Amino acid sequence: AQSVTQPDIHITVSEGASLELRCNYSYGATPYLFWYVQSPGQGLQLLLKYFSGDTLVQGIKGFEAEFKRSQSSFNLRKPSVHWSDAAEYFCAFLAPSGGYNKLIFGAGTRLAVHP
Amino acid sequence: DSGVTQTPKHLITATGQRVTLRCSPRSGDLSVYWYQQSLDQGLQFLIQYYNGEERAKGNILERFSAQQFPDLHSELNLSSLELGDSALYFCASSALASYNEQFFGPGTRLTVL
């Protein structure tokens, strides 16, 4: 079955600390991968995406993610977290088959940042 | 600001009623998607339209329907509403029908009392 797993429902870090949010996917081939962020009361904003090529991708707001095919993972990282990063983060993938564009989302990881 | 607009922002209605949610895609985008975000189901794909035609269906109930108009805006119609339909409904758009990143609107929060 096609699915995305985000093992951590809640994560709390101190401001200035590093961050890694985990994401694993289940799919028979290499999917297109995304990380979205949702601030309270807001829509989803695209942080970064992986379609092909370099497995380390840079995104907005200082985020990066690394695609590891052997581990079916696409973990999100940030070297130094800011208080404004507190939000919910969703990993998603696009199964590029059937000619359509359905995004499959993980359950999300809620990030809290302590001052 | 993604360029995708949704109206209304909030909607409160009663069980059994019908509502219409509206979405305007980013300028130039031909594809529109609807997603439902609820506490128990998470973010789920409902339906996709491309240039006026239905392209893909997900976990959309028979009580729900959608359409995309010639000017490319889309409407999601929810009828015979139940308490469990209370959720955040997102619209997203992309330039192409497939293999494309999607840009999300701010959502419509539906509360069914």
- DSSP secondary structure code for residue B3 in this structure: S
Nearest CA in chain B to A93: B101
What pLDDT score was predicted for residue A97? 57
Quickly state the pLDDT bin for B59 (edges 50, 70, 90).
confident
Contact B102, B81 (CB under 8 A): no
What pLDDT score was predicted for residue B77? 98
Q: Which residues of chain A have pLDDT under 70?
A: 96-101
Question: In chain A, which residues have their Cβ closer than 8 Å to the Cβ of B106?
Answer: 42-43
| Optimal mutation site among B9, B45, B90, interface A, most CBs of chain A within 10 A | B45
Write out A58-109 in H/E/C secondary structure. ECHHHCEEEEEHHHCEEEEEECCCCHHHCEEEEEEEECCCCCCCCEEECCCE
